[in-house]
A and B are shown apart, each in its own frame.
Chain A
Amino acid sequence: NAGVMQNPRHLVRRRGQEARLRCSPMKGHSHVYWYRQLPEEGLKFMVYLQKENIIDESGMPKERFSAEFPKEGPSILRIQQVVRGDSAAYFCASSPSSGGTGELFFGEGSRLTVL
């Protein structure tokens, strides 16, 4: 049973470009969380999704950031018109049910560098 798969592992973008980060949850998991981690800092919640629904996006910046988890395919975190401050590691986690009682399984992260 493959773990949470994130790609790309490393992504370099110039300011103003778009970044798309993909996350395939573990098989059988229908809940996906995205977190951002700046160097030497902790994980910051961004968004919690179930299939075809955004459940909680309270940690997501209001502009330029969007997330989706379609019925088929991976969850996508999209950052439009990237700026240098978007450089960070973005982690995806999945759980079979809402994470309140279950364990979160994390991917290895996607490291975005904005030049």
Chain B
Amino acid sequence: KNQVEQSPQSLIILEGKNCTLQCNYTVSPFSNLRWYKQDTGRGPVSLTIMTFSENTKSNGRYTATLDADTKQSSLHITASQLSDSASYICVVSAKKGTGANNLFFGTGTRLTVIP
């Protein structure tokens, strides 16, 4: 069964600290993995995409990793800011099937950054 599990479910950190969010998946055949950021009351916005051959990709203070062998990804946030408070959603794409939705969503990690 294609599933995406994220941990922790929620996280509270002090401003300026680093944190790492985890995403484990069983989606097969794998196409790519995206991390989205969803601010409260807003729609999700893509942060980064990881394909099979990529191990690490950075977008400012966000660094995503992918281990396709163990089917794990992480999102590391450096020097957190109050504006990083949001839900972070891991979305894994299976290789396109015939006419079917092939996107699998994690339930997200709710990050709260406190002053």
Contacts and interface: CB of A to CB of B under 8 A. Distances in A.
Interface residues of A, number: 26
Interface residues of B, number: 26
A100 B42 contact: no
B100 A55 contact: yes
Given A100-B93, A100-B95, A45 B49 contact: no
Contacts of A106: 43-45
Nearest to B95: A100
Nearest to A41: B107
B24 to A, nearest CB: 15
B93 A99 contact: yes
A1 interface: no
Interface of B: 31-32, 34, 41-46, 49, 89, 91, 93-96, 99-103, 105-108, 110
